[in-house]
């Protein structure tokens, strides 16, 4: 992020071994992938020990990098001040050129630290800090980067790492949750036929996401983005022998390719619009400074939104995400909590100036991002109601919560969106791993209606951790989801007295509806799974410590991480100093954020509202209570029942139609599978075949027939009638001439003398009569 200001002869540069060597964090799981793939089957634990060791080491480095970043933000403890004389003495790596009489620039807290190596061009290794302003930049050779004149000429691609609040936050989340998933998997997939393969790709999946998070250029980001997609394909289709699993993997891969077209087009537009640069900070700076036109920013933002819609499951490209539940449950937890599906949200945050200026968020009331996010958050919540598979309930819940994050970013609530990404990772991982624990006890079934019920007495640890995750997801205070959800609603600026970056009334209504929906469908999920009578077979039991300990850790995180961004009024009301307020905002969103986004449009933080928090929480509690009363009444009527046989859908045609639409998932799968794919393979393919046989082949056959006729004509009348006849005539003439000459040329001298005499006589007669 950019946070720069003018200075008077001094530049402040963050310096830390962890910043310089942050590349080790993705490198460790990447190396683990290679080791497991090559030697895993020969190791005692089939490669699991390598994967766990590597990801724990990466988590340790990420944690230390996070602490270093927080220390620098809080105290500037890692910063080094350099006067102009000191810079000149220290070498070119800290040199700052002054232009147009300006003394230069200074970093303020939270500016990005970039370590790059220039590739594909003339350049040397550079350990540099990019100032992100047009006045100058520090580079290894003391000159500004030259990214060339375009794809046709010489240019260089910077390959390196970008460390800032957003990337540090994701480093912590990804490595933390991946570590727990690695440990959890040792029990969950124990004895699997492709155990080693599983751990290899789990490591590569983690490495790919970390690589993308640290990308300093759009080229790197695209590479990391695609690697995440490839790994998800391998893990979703882990049990590829079963056709539904293979279909789900292909669906995820192909759906994401649709959005990736938008990613490539959008990045290409930004490359040229920002002055032929791949550098993410430079692109952001160009957007903030007004160097890119509004129309260009809008087009590139819309293209990039297509990528966000596919990767982060936004309506209407969300259909792959619930089907991705075909993979092992720990993979589902990793995908839905910390890796693939948050990549789109991360992309928006990383290029937020582009979206902020492109969609004209400042002072607005609606835009494409906010509307798509709002529609997704409500649509996903409604679909979660009609699922009987516990993992699909959580999958549609993820769709809904991702919509919440996109909505937040669409209304200008940057910190709220990033904070919800952060809190959601912990309680959603807790819920998915809890679903895996339940399935583990129910003979690997995920059917809540047929094989679950009453499990709270058999699995108390799983039950209580699941309850905590559910309460956090539903936004019940004081758990994590409450704080981030409340910030998003406040950030819309539609509630009186909140003063956001605009007045986004429609997204605000979407957000309130989702608050009620989330509590309602999670209450249904909890009841069908843990209450009533057990409807399954055999005897369920609590999972082992390698499953329950990660659940307990995640549940604890779901309780306290929300306190990292408490409003000032709250911390003061409970007797804490104001310094405890908005810590997440301070660490992830640096001061000087007006320079980061908004430019002349400005950028404000909405004011918290106690009344809005009460209203939103009240809606959630009321919706949950209604669902609870429904199921308690049903239980009193039939302890094993999961729904009323004479329910509203059976008595009301409108309710039945609505229920049918939800069961058919808005008919989007029908549209894609039957209409688009089926139409392509069916009527369209038949039409193309008919066109090929009757039009193209007809043209070809007609051309061949005409060519045959022409050939016959040429052969008969030209070749045979003219050419051959002329040749024959000339031959016959030559033969006749030869025959005549043979009669004259007898070889007898007296005959030649007679001819000469006759010729002389004729010639003499000519001369006599002529003259």
Q: What's the pLDDT at 263?
A: 94
735 part of a folded domain = yes
Q: pLDDT by residue (tens digit) across 285-294? A: 888 888 899 9
Confidence (pLDDT) at 591: 53
Lowest mean pLDDT among 315-324, 540-549, 751-760: 751-760
Q: Tell me the pLDDT of the chain averaged across its residues.
A: 82
Asked whether residue 376 carries a pLDDT value surpassing 50, the answer given is yes
Say if residue 7's pLDDT is above 70.
no
Among the ranges 8-17, 201-210, 337-346, 646-655, which has the highest mean pLDDT value?
201-210
Q: Which domain covers residue 736, as residue numbers?
A: 680-770
* 752 assigned to some structural domain: yes
Closest to 206 measured CA to CA, from 245, 164, 254, 173: 173
**676 contacts: CB under 8 Å, gap ≥ 6:** none
pLDDT tens digit sequence for 701-740: 899 899 898 888 888 888 888 887 888 888 888 877 777 7
Q: Give the pair of three-digit tokens for residue 263.
A: 């990613």
Q: What is the pLDDT of residues 429-440, one digit of tens each?
A: 999 999 999 988
What pLDDT shows up at residue 409?
Answer: 94
Per the listing, tokens 């799983």 go with 462
685 inside domain: yes
For residue 716, the model assigns a pLDDT of 83
pLDDT of residue 606: 86
Q: What is the structure's pLDDT at 3? A: 34
User: Most confidently modeled of 83-92, 95-104, 466-475?
Assistant: 466-475
- Dist CA 177 CA 553 (whole Å): 10
**Residue 127: what pLDDT?**
35
pLDDT value, residue 602? 59
Does residue 487 lie in a domain region?
no
With cut-offs at 50, 70 and 90, classify the pLDDT of residue 99. very low
How high is the pLDDT of residue 450? 84
Is-above-0.95 flag for pTM? no
Could you give the CA distance from residue 413 to residue 589 in angstroms, rounded to a whole number?
11
Residues 690, 693, 697: CA angle, nearest 5 degrees:
145
Which pLDDT score is estimated for 548? 92
pLDDT of residue 771: 65
The token duo for 437 is: 């624990």
Average pLDDT over every residue of 63-90: 63
Residue range 695-703: mean pLDDT, rounded: 89
pLDDT at 121 over 50: no
Least confident of 126-130, 146-150, 531-535, 609-613: 126-130
Residue 603: left (phi > 0), alpha (psi -120 to 50), or beta?
Answer: beta
Confidence band of 241 (pLDDT split at 50, 70, 90):
confident
Asked whether residue 84 is assigned to any structural domain, the reply reads no
Q: What confidence category does residue 420 fall into, taking pLDDT thresholds of 50, 70 and 90?
A: very high
Number of domains forming the structure of the chain: 1
DSSP annotation of 677 reads: I
Query: Domain for residue 758, yes or no?
Result: yes
How many helical (H) and strand (E) elements, i.e. helices and strands, does the chain have? 34, 7
Residue 11 has pLDDT above 70, yes or no: no
Phi then psi dihedrals of residue 477, to 5 deg = -70, 150
| pLDDT at residue 125 greater than cutoff 50 | no
Q: Is residue 689 part of a domain?
A: yes
The DSSP H or E segment spanning 573 is helix 568-573
With beta carbons less than 8 A apart as the criterion, state whether 227 and 204 touch. Answer: yes
Residue 746 covered by a domain: yes
Per residue in 661-674, pLDDT (tens digit) is: 888 888 888 888 87
Q: What is the pLDDT of residues 485-519, one digit of tens each?
A: 999 999 998 898 888 888 999 999 999 999 999 99
Reported as a pLDDT band with limits 50, 70 and 90, residue 82 is very low
- Asked if pLDDT for residue 426 goes beyond 60, the answer is yes
């Amino acid at each position: 992020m950019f946070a720069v200001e003018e200075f008077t002869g001094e530049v402040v540069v963050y310096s830390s071994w962890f910043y310089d060597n942050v590349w080790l964090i993705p490198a460790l799981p990447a190396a683990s992938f290679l080791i497991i793939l090559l030697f895993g089957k020969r190791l005692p634990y089939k490669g699991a020990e390598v994967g766990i060791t590597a990801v724990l080491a990466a988590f340790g480095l990420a944690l230390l990098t996070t602490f270093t970043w927080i220390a620098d933000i809080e105290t500037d403890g890692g910063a080094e001040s350099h006067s102009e004389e000191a810079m000149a003495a220290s070498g070119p790596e800290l040199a700052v050129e002054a232009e147009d009489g300006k003394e230069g620039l200074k970093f303020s807290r939270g500016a990005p630290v970039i370590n790059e190596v220039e590739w594909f061009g003339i350049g040397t290794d550079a350990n540099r800090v990019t100032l992100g302003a047009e006045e100058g930049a520090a580079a290894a050779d003391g000159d500004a980067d030259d990214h060339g004149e375009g794809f046709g000429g010489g240019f260089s691609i910077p390959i390196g790492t970008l460390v800032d609040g957003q990337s540090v936050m994701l480093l912590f989340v990804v490595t933390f949750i991946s570590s727990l998933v690695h440990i959890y998997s040792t029990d969950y997939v124990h004895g699997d036929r492709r155990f080693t393969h599983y751990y290899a790709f789990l490591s590569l999946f983690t490495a790919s996401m970390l690589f993308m998070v640290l990308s300093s250029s759009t080229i790197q980001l695209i590479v990391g983005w695609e690697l995440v997609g490839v790994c998800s394909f391998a893990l979703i289709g882990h049990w590829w022998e079963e056709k539904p699993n293979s279909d789900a993997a292909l669906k995820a891969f192909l759906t994401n390719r649709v959005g990736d077209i938008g990613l490539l087009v959008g990045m290409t537009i930004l490359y040229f619009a920002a002055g032929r640069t791949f550098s993410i900070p430079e692109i952001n700076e160009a957007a903030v400074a007004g160097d890119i036109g509004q129309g260009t920013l809008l087009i590139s933002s819309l293209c990039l939104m297509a990528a966000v819609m596919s990767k982060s499951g936004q309506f209407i490209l969300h259909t792959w995400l619930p089907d991705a539940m075909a993979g092992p449950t720990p993979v589902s937890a990793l995908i839905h909590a910390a890796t693939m599906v948050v990549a789109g949200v991360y992309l928006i945050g990383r290029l937020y100036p582009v979206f902020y200026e492109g969609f004209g968020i400042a002072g607005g009331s609606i835009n494409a991002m906010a509307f798509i996010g709002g529609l997704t958050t409500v649509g996903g919540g409604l679909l979660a109601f009609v699922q009987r598979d516990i993992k699909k309930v959580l999958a549609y819940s993820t769709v809904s919560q991702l919509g919440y994050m996109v909505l937040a970013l669409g209304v200008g609530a940057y910190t709220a969106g990033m904070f919800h990404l952060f809190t959601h990772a912990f309680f959603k991982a807790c819920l998915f791993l809890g679903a895996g624990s339940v399935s583990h006890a129910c003979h690997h079934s995920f059917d809540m209606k047929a094989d679950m019920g009453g499990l709270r007495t058999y699995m108390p640890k799983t039950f209580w951790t699941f309850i905590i995750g559910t309460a956090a997801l539903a936004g019940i205070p004081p758990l994590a989801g409450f704080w981030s959800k409340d910030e998003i609603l406040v950030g819309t600026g539609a509630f009186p007295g909140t003063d956001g970056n605009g007045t986004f009334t429609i997204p605000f209504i979407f957000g309130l509806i989702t608050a009620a929906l989330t509590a309602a469908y999670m209450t249904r999920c909890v009841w069908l799974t843990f209450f009533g009578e057990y409807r399954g077979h055999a005897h369920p039991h609590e999972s082992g410590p390698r499953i329950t300990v990660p659940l307990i850790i995640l549940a604890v995180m779901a309780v306290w991480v929300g306190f990292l961004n408490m409003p000032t009024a709250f911390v003061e009301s409970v007797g804490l100093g104001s310094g405890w307020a908005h810590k997440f905002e301070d660490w992830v969103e640096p001061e000087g954020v007006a320079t980061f986004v908004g430019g002349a449009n400005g950028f404000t933080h909405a004011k918290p509202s106690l009344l809005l928090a009460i209203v939103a929480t009240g809606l959630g509690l009321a919706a949950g209570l209604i669902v609870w009363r429904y199921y308690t009444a049903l239980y009193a009527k039939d302890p094993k029942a999961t729904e009323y046989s004479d329910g509203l859908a059976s008595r009301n045609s409108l309710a039945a139609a609505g229920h049918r639409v939800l069961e058919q998932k808005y008919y989007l799968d029908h549209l894609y599978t039957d209409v688009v794919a089926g139409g392509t393979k069916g009527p369209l393919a038949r039409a193309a075949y008919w066109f090929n046989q009757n039009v193209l082949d007809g043209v070809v056959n007609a051309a061949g027939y005409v060519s045959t006729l022409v050939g016959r004509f040429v052969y008969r009348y030209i070749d045979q009638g003219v050419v051959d006849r002329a040749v024959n005539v000339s031959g016959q003439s030559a033969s006749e001439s030869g025959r005549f000459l043979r009669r004259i040329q007898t070889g007898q001298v007296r005959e030649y003398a007679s001819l000469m005499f006759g010729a002389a006589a004729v010639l003499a007669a000519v001369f006599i009569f002529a003259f």
